[in-house]
Structure 1
């Protein structure tokens, strides 16, 4: 097994299906590290050293340890009900959402919804949104008018790995960003 395959398997467990290896997550999404290693080892070789390497080198910074590394959790992207203790943060004026062209008709009809996840994931710049969109086919980038959303009572959160989260984005706050525009980097809120 490659480190990437093991990381994806851990992501599946910590975000969606802890029961796959017979563990449970607490209300904040934390799993016992020893139980996780033992459970993963049934199908994928995993040691504490490898788990630490996965956490430290994951390009999306998907995971966090507690201070003494006895607990681990996914930072966001859960489809199971957990409270990862996100603090409400005032977002920048605009954030971005990258998707595939095949989803445009649905988004233009119902806005951005979390589907099986707890939150809609947003990016602070068009480059990141473009990378996300490419994972879903021909990319399309939406710009979200966060300033107006906040004025209408919508809440935003930022996970420890910098992904912006909100419960939904109605169509009136969305506009498509033309492809090929200059990168728009927005400093963290």
Structure 2
């Protein structure tokens, strides 16, 4: 079993392999879902310095323990569910809940409120069904701001939504008129 520090390092390396630079390591991901054979990924990881002792069980531990649920193993294949910056992975369009959430920071929020949510170097905008994943994503780069997205209004404006799994939804972009700064009135009432 991996310790937490090694697990985090392996997760970051798997992110690099499956989301950002697969070609640099000789990986050719399935163009329909971005998956790769787990046994082959294991071989690629083991061929790298400092990773020669990694087991398939270690990779499975990373998948199960990742708080953001970035990865999925299914039928002997592994994939990153979202966050790709290489070739565009295709997802089936879906109908999301009426509201989705996007985590950002106080620096980016004014731009988003005037220009909308854009992928900014990724293939899709990432949205979540609850505020937990939005909080994890938004707090990395400064003071957290959570935006709520009116998905019905966005769909009427032409936005297509795609389900990536585990409460994560993707969109090409979201118009500013469909975004609002989210405030949780229940928490505010509890703090008074």
TM-score (norm 1): 0.85
Partner of 1:14: 18
Structure 1: give runs of 5+ residues left out of the alignment: 184-189
Contact 1:124–1:164 (8 Å) recurs in 2: yes
**136-145 vs 75-84, which deviates more?**
75-84
Contact 1:21–1:40 (8 Å) recurs in 2: no
Partner of 1:160: 165
Structure 2: give runs of 5+ residues left out of the alignment: 188-192
Matched, 1:27 2:27: no
Quickly say closer, same or farther: Cα 1:128–1:24, change in 2 above 3 A.
closer
Partner of 1:53: 61
Partner of 2:181: 176
Task: Indicate the RMSD between aligned Cα atoms, in angstroms.
Answer: 1.9
1 or 2, which has the higher helix percentage?
2
Spell out structure 1 runs of 4+ moving beyond 6 A.
none
Report the 3-state secondary structure (helix = DSSP H, G, I; strand = E; otherwise coil) of the residue aligned with 1:39.
helix
Partner Cα separation in structure 2 for residue 78 and residue 100 of structure 1: 21
TM-score (norm 2): 0.83
Partner Cα separation in structure 1 for residue 81 and residue 171 of structure 2: 14
